[in-house]
Structure formats: structure tokens, C-alpha cells
């Protein structure tokens, strides 16, 4: 499943991170619709709002269906046919949609067959592993390439900052029966977890890996539903690390939510290349800039434990966590 995400980029950087090529091969940045409603967050949960990509044709019938727009929508799909006057009275949890039932359940089938496909954007998502002593949270995201830069400058043609996680979603537009502003909402499609993630949880979001997959999912006018749903499958191109239980409370919205920790450590964790780039990213986030450079993080670490209760400042905790000496990179998780 997917019950918590992070999306910390500013509205402008989020738009730049979503640069794409239209049907004519021109580089484009999606237009923000109601950008003033977007709020960056390290800890987004259902019923909060989050950024999604969709085809402009959903909002403008004569538009090229390959054109993309950015919208801030509420997480938790409310079908257009819902008749009550309060969307919070929805009797079902619609934050996630199982891929094996999305074409049979009424909440999703109508919107999906009408081409209401979207891409849900995030730095990454959180998942909790069930353990004997409780649940251990992990932060899961795309690997970051070696040419990822620390800070993006105005005028740079190509985005080289943090690569956003792009999850397949379904959206709908609900209008209050008594009149009023239309409500746009979305759900994240989930699939069986990939082999590397299955030890954390048996489900994961359907991740669209690469612009070709994103194009096919969004362009409902050119790619019919039967073809688009073939894109919905697990991906192995994903990395993760354990994080503090600080993220457990939805009220906590700070860089500590996604800071790597060591499980089972009885002393301060020492610096690794991956840790250093994560620290840089978190520092830059605190300063209001785009994420800093990160090399590929390992696909999990065998021995980590909860960090101390994060009541100090983010920078102080991370400095304590990293230490000053280096150590070899951690091994990948096996199994």
C-alpha cells in the first residue's frame, strides 16, 4: 500500500522537475493550475493535498492530449457520482486502489474507463515493516544519478535536481449537489511488492519508470485503457532506508521524517557517501533550496535502529548521526 509520502520541492522547482517533451519533441514545463494551493511537505497523508500530473485535455477539450498540467488535488478519491453533500462521508477508504480490482470496483472503474489517469508526484513514500517490537518505517524512492547537482540555477535548460517518484493514479472531479467549487481527488494504484521491497510490505505503489511510461499513462486520447493498464506492475528500480518513528505522527513535518538512521546501533553512526548526500539534501531543504546531490543509495541495510527521539534541531540530529569518520558503504539487503 501507500499511506504516506513526502514532496518537499517548491512549486517552481516541482514544475521544472516535471519538464517533458510534447508530441512535437519540444521541451515543455507543465503549467501549474492553482499553484497557490500547493504546500511542500515531508509528511503527507490521506485527505491532505498533493501534486499530480494530468493531460491538459481533461481541463480543455481542444487541447493536445500530450500537453501536461500540474494540479494540487486531495488524496482519497471521491467519485463524481457520489451523491451526499459532504465528501468526508465516503464510506470507503479510497487513498489506494488495488490494480487487480480497479476495473471492477465502482469507485474507480468509471473514472479509469473515461481516461482519468494521473501521475502522483513525490520525493518518495514511507512504508512500515511489522516487527515483534512494533513497526519500523522506511523511506522509499528512485535512485539518484551521479550527475544530480546540489542546487539548480535559473536558466538551466535541463533539471538535474532530485528525481521525483512518479506513481500511477486515477483522479475524479466531484461537484457538490447543492452547488459550489468542484473537488478534484486522486487515488494511488498499488501492486504486489517487488522482490526487494517485499520484506517491508507485500504491496507497493505502481511506479511509472521513465518519461515514455508517463506519456502513455497520461495520454488517454492516444493510449486506450487496455494498453495503459499494462504499465501497472512492480518495479525493481527502487532504493530505501530506515527512518525514525518520528514520521509516525502526521503532525511531524520536518527533514527528520526522511533522514536515514541505523538499526541496532549502540553508538553514533559514521559517515558514508550515501549518508553525506542525504545530509546535504536535508540541509538544503531547510534552507529553502532544491535537494542536494545524492549518489545511488543502497537497497536497504541489514542492521539499523531507531535514532534518538528527534526533539533537537534537524541539523544537530543529523550531525550527531553522521559523525566525522568514514566507513565502507552498507551492503544491499538480501531477500
User: How far are the Cα atoms of 52, 191, 270, 302, 308 from residue 265, in angstroms, in the given order?
Assistant: 38, 33, 10, 11, 11
Which of 2, 7, 97, 118 is catalytic? The answer is 2
253 SS3 class: coil
User: How far are the Cα atoms of 84, 157, 198, 205 from residue 21, in angstroms, in the given order?
Assistant: 41, 13, 34, 25
Q: In degrees, to the nearest 5, what angle opens at C-alpha 301 toward C-alphas 256 and 327?
A: 85
Distance, CA of 27 to CA of 25 (rounded, Å): 7
**Among 110, 257, 296, 270, residue whose Cα is nearest residue 187:** 110
Please say if 97 is a catalytic residue. no
Q: In degrees, to the nearest 5, what angle opens at C-alpha 174 toward C-alphas 169 and 177?
A: 165
Distance, CA of 271 to CA of 257 (rounded, Å): 19
Which of 7, 18, 97, 127 is catalytic? The answer is 127
Residue 126: beta bridge partners?
139
Please say if 127 is a catalytic residue. yes
Which residues does the annotation mark as catalytic? 2, 127
Amino acid at each position: 500500500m501507500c499511506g504516506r509520502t513526502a514532496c518537499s520541492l517548491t512549486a517552481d522547482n516541482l514544475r521544472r522537475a516535471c519538464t517533458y517533451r510534447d508530441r512535437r519533441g519540444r521541451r515543455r514545463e507543465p503549467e501549474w493550475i492553482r499553484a497557490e494551493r500547493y504546500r511542500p511537505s515531508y509528511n503527507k497523508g490521506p485527505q491532505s493535498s498533493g501534486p499530480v500530473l494530468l493531460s491538459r485535455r481533461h481541463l480543455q477539450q481542444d487541447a493536445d492530449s500530450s500537453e501536461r498540467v500540474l494540479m494540487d488535488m486531495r488524496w482519497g478519491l471521491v467519485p463524481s457520482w457520489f451523491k451526499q453533500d459532504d465528501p468526508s462521508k465516503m464510506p470507503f477508504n479510497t487513498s489506494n486502489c488495488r490494480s487487480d480490482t480497479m476495473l471492477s470496483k465502482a469507485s474507480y472503474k468509471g473514472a479509469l474507463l473515461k481516461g482519468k489517469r494521473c501521475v502522483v508526484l513525490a520525493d518518495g513514500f514511507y512504508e512500515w515493516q511489522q516487527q515483534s517490537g512494533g513497526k519500523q518505517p522506511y523511506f522509499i524512492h528512485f535512485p539518484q544519478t551521479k550527475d544530480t547537482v546540489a542546487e539548480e540555477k535559473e536558466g538551466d535548460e535541463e533539471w538535474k535536481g532530485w528525481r521525483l517518484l512518479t506513481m500511477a493514479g486515477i483522479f475524479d472531479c466531484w461537484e457538490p449537489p447543492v452547488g459550489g467549487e468542484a473537488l478534484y481527488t486522486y487515488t494511488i494504484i498499488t501492486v504486489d511488492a517487488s522482490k526487494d521491497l517485499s520484506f517491508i510490505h507485500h504491496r507497493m505503489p505502481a511506479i511509472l519508470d521513465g518519461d515514455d511510461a508517463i506519456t502513455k499513462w497520461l495520454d488517454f486520447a492516444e493510449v486506450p485503457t487496455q494498453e495503459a493498464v499494462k504499465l501497472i506492475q512492480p518495479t525493481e528500480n527502487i532504493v530505501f532506508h530506515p527512518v525514525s518513528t518520528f514520521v509516525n505522527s502526521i503532525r511531524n513535518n520536518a527533514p527528520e521524517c526522511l533522514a536515514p538512521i541505523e538499526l541496532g546501533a549502540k553508538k553514533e553512526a559514521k559517515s558514508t557517501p550515501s549518508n553525506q548526500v542525504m545530509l546535504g539534501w536535508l540541509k538544503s531543504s531547510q534552507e529553502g533550496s532544491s535537494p542536494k546531490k545524492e549518489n545511488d543509495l543502497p537497497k536497504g541495510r541489514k542492521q539499523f535502529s531507531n535514532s534518538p527521539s528527534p526533539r533537537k534541531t534537524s541539523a544537530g540530529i543529523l550531525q550527531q548521526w553522521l559523525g566525522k569518520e568514514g566507513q565502507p558503504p552498507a551492503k544491499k539487503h538480501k531477500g
